[in-house]
Amino acid sequence: MTDTLSILGTGVYLPPARPVKEVVAEAGGDSSIFQGWENVCHARDEDHPSSMGADALRRALDDSGVNAADLQLVIFAGMSRDYLPSYSVATEIMKTCDVPGTCVGIDLTIGCLGALSALDLAHGWLAVRGGGLAAIVTAERWSYTIDHSSSESYGLWAHADGGAATIVGINTKHASKAEFAGAETVTQSDLNGSIIIKYGGTQNPVAPEGVNPAEREILTLEGIDRRERYAEGYLGSFQAMEKRFGVRPNRVICNQTAVLFLQLIASVIEIPVENFLITGHETGHVGSADILIGLDRLLKSGELTEPYLMAGSTPFAFASGLLNPA
């Protein structure tokens, strides 16, 4: 039995992109202060996590040649939900794409680290069963959670909407396009809660009148240097991955959180930013979908000829995975 997870196909759904500064100016914000990704994908009225995820999954199934009826596991990795609370996006995607009830559907909530964590989970899930097929689906609709008129939300202005998916397998008849060896994760639990939607949970069930209940807030964590802690998290996961696999990649697929974020990762792991696959200028930061968007771009370009680092994070956890050519 193989020790690696085969990447069999990928698919992406992105709504139309607009210049970030145009979005900010329309909202009444000061667009002159913004420096970052040039464009941001914003959902249409009919675009929701389940519909964008289903569209991406259909494309990934077509790309892989896999029949939806043969899937044994579907993991939805994303923060956005069509409805709250007892609603499964994975199950809705299964219904839309005619995935049978014998398939297991799981919703995974770990922020922008979702896709990489889902790959690792699917790897283990399929391995203990001796093989099979799984789908990793990511989708976010973040635009409605951001106040583009407020400079306090500056760091979120380029957060975007969209979906991406990949079909993976172990010991299948389908041709592999790449091999995922695994990932190593570092968790810094004291950073949990630094970006929140304040209302809708048990602590603050209802928002005050006139307040957007879905708006996200970036909180100040007293005595914590985020840049320093993020550097520690990424370096720790990268070193653990390098030790486990004995490979030091020189190319990177990662979250497209911000230009400065990529520069931080590059300086920490000592890989030049020119060796990063960058999609953020076209799409903005699409959460955990970033990594699968990058994977789709890489595989369809035919340029996967050497090992790649897959690097992802959420405010409280950091992971480094290894992607090899098939």
pLDDT one-digit tens code per residue, 245-268: 999 999 999 999 999 889 999 999
Q: Is the pLDDT of residue 277 over 60?
A: yes
According to the model, what pLDDT value does residue 167 have?
98
Q: What percent of the chain has pLDDT over 90?
A: 81
According to the model, what pLDDT value does residue 311 have?
97
Task: Return the higher-pLDDT residue of 84 and 256.
Answer: 256
Q: Is the pLDDT of residue 217 over 90?
A: no
The rounded distance, in Å, linking the Cα atoms of 39 and 59 is: 24
According to the model, what pLDDT value does residue 190 have?
87
pLDDT one-digit tens code per residue, 4-53: 999 999 999 999 999 999 999 999 999 999 989 999 999 999 999 999 99
Average pLDDT over residues 193-199: 81
According to the model, what pLDDT value does residue 244 have?
97
Residue 55 tokens read as 């569209």
Instruction: Report yes or no: 156 and 39 within 8 Å, Cβ to Cβ.
Output: no
According to the model, what pLDDT value does residue 2 have?
60
Q: Is the pLDDT of residue 223 over 80?
A: no
Q: What percent of the chain has pLDDT over 70?
A: 99
Q: Of the candidates 58, 49, 169, 184, which has an alpha carbon nearest to the alpha carbon of residue 116?
A: 184
Task: Return the higher-pLDDT residue of 154 and 281.
Answer: 281
Q: How confident is the model at residue 1 (pLDDT cuts 50, 70, 90)?
A: very low
Q: Is the pLDDT of residue 3 over 90?
A: no
Residue ranges covered by each domain of the chain: 5-174, 180-325
Average pLDDT over residues 87-96: 97
Burial classification of residue 270, based on how many CB atoms lie within 10 Å of its CB (0-12 exposed, 13-18 middle, 19 or more buried): exposed
Q: Is the pLDDT of residue 128 over 80?
A: yes
3-state SS class at 273: helix
Residue 206 tokens read as 């209802």
Helix 49-64 to helix 89-96 angle, to the nearest 10 degrees? 50
Task: Return the higher-pLDDT residue of 76 and 204.
Answer: 76
Q: Is the pLDDT of residue 120 over 50?
A: yes
If you average pLDDT over every residue of the chain, what do you get? 94
- CATH 3.40.47.10 describes domain 180-325: yes
**Domain 5-174 and domain 180-325 have a common topology:** yes
pTM above 0.85? yes
Q: Is the pLDDT of residue 235 over 70?
A: yes
Instruction: Report yes or no: 136 and 166 within 8 Å, Cβ to Cβ.
Output: yes
Q: Which CATH class is domain 5-174?
A: alpha beta
